[in-house]
Amino acid sequence: MGVRDRLEWAKRHWELMTLYERFEQAVAFALVAAIAFVVLVALWNLLVHIFEPAGNAALAPRHHRVFQEVFSGIMTLLIAMEFKHSILRWAVREESIIQVKTVLVIAILALSRKFIILDIETGSASEVLGLAGAVLALGGVYWLMRERDDRLPTSDKKERREAGEF
C-alpha cells in the first residue's frame, strides 16, 4: 500500500475514529513527515560527501575513514526508512502498535552501523565485546520471536495479526 493509498484510507475512516485515534493518526503522519525530511537531509549530505571534488579523490581504498562515513550515512538512511515504514504501517492500522520485531530490527541495524563506524585503533576491546553481546542478544530475541510466529497455525497467525498481537 503506497502513501497515497494510506492517506485515502485515513480519510475514509476519519469519521469512524475516536478523538484519541484521530490524535494518534495526526501524530503518526507528523512523525512520518518529520522522518521523511530527515531522510532527505541525510541523503543530501551523503550525496554531497560522495560527489564533492575532495571526496572523490578520498574514495581510494586506502582511505578507510571515508568508506566508514559513507557506509555510516547509508546505514543511517536505512534505519530512518525502516522506522518511517513501521510508523506508517501503524498509522493506517495495518498493525495496532509498533511491532517488537520491527524495533529489534531497527536496533540491530543501529548496532551494525556502530560496528561500521567503530575505529578499532581507538576503541576498546570491552566496547567491541559489549556491542557484539548486544547484537547476539537482540538477534537471539528476534529469532525466538520468529520461531514462535512460525510455529503458529496459519489461522491463528491471521487471527493474532488482526487482533494486533504481532
Mean pLDDT computed over 35-55: 81
Determine the residue type at 92: V
Alpha carbons within 13 A on the beta-carbon side of 48: 6
CA 83 to CA 7: how far, in whole Å? 18
**Residue 85 pLDDT more than 90?**
no
**In the chain, how many domains are there?**
1
Which range of residues forms the domain containing residue 124?
3-163
What is residue 137's predicted lDDT score, i.e. its pLDDT?
93
Say how many C-beta atoms besides its own lie within 10 A of residue 13's C-beta. Answer: 14
Mean pLDDT over each residue of the chain, to the nearest integer: 76
What is residue 166's predicted lDDT score, i.e. its pLDDT?
45
Q: Which residues contact 134 (CB under 8 A, 6 or more apart)?
A: 111
Q: Which residue has the higher pLDDT, 157 or 26?
A: 26
Instruction: Give the lowest-confidence range in 40-49, 60-69, 90-99.
Output: 90-99
Write the DSSP assignment of 91-110 as a string of letters. HTTSSSS--HHHHHHHHHHH
- Global pTM? 0.61
